[in-house]
Amino acid sequence: MADNLILDVQDIKKSYDGLEVLKGIGFGLQKGETKVLIGPSGSGKSTLLRCINYLTVPDAGRIYLNGEEVLDKNIDAMRSRMGFVFQDFNLFTHLTVLDNVRICQIKVGGTDKQTATQRAHSELERVGLGDKAHAYPAELSGGQQQRVSIARALAMDPDVLLFDEPTSALDPELTGEVVRVMQQLAAEGMTMVVVTHEMSFARQAADEIIFMENGHIVEQGAPNILFNSASNERTQTFLNVIAEHG
């Protein structure tokens, strides 16, 4: 494993009922880097992301976080260092926004309530929701709920943030407010892996784009290369279709 990688994903394979979803995927992520995974639905992007933090256990391959292998036996500790932002927010509807952001700090991180509260307020301000601490999720728009889930992940001070299509459940206006927060995090040097169909985010915020299809990495490179002169015909076709319907 390269010493300077925060995340090292090696030859990950996963099958469901005999269908190979991931056919040996690998990539490395350095501190402060944003990698964006793109590709058609069913290409294995979300499965890969879930394998990285063992929400889905890979059939083969290895994953290292800061040089330590991610395994079943240490998964709770490793997950606490990998923030995960889901498509559907995954907020506790019976808890206030403040409680949603601080609960993992207290229950998982062992942080005292006062410190967790201070950190929660700080992260809510960071995502533009400082005035919503005492609201409940049902009182928020989808975009606001997703920003709460980002604040919750940030409050754990993760080594890396994983985003699984964080805007797929949102309409265009609400998508924009979430994308702006993600762009801000990228600019601040947050280390991120993002599965998304938001090509504007990929173009502006990614250090590298990985195009996946049928469980393989077809092509990867800097945004200006993939968007302007992708070498693989399938990559070109996919990006052209996305541009036409964007």
Strands 19-30 and 68-69: unpaired
The CATH classification number of 92-157 equals: 1.20.1580.10
Q: How would DSSP label each residue in 225-245? A: HHHHH-SSHHHHHHHHHHHHH
The pLDDT assigned to 244 comes to 64
Strand partners, 68: 65
* Rounded distance between C-alpha atoms, residue 35 and residue 32, angstroms: 10
Q: Kindly report the length of the chain.
A: 246
Q: Going residue by residue through the chain (246 aa), what tens digit of pLDDT does each one get?
A: 456 899 999 999 999 999 999 999 999 999 999 999 999 999 999 999 999 999 999 999 999 999 999 998 999 999 999 999 999 999 999 999 999 999 999 998 899 999 999 999 999 999 999 999 999 999 999 999 999 999 999 999 999 999 999 999 899 889 999 999 999 999 999 999 999 989 999 999 999 999 999 999 999 999 999 999 889 999 988 988 877 665
The pLDDT assigned to 4 comes to 83
Residue 26 token pair:
């690998």
Strands 208-213 and 34-38: parallel
The pLDDT assigned to 132 comes to 98
Q: How would DSSP label each residue in 10-79? A: EEEEEEETTEEEEEEEEEEEETT-EEEEE-STTSSHHHHHHHHTTSS--SEEEEEETTEEP-GGGHHHHH
The pLDDT assigned to 245 comes to 61
Please say whether the beta carbons of 89 and 148 come within 8 A.
yes
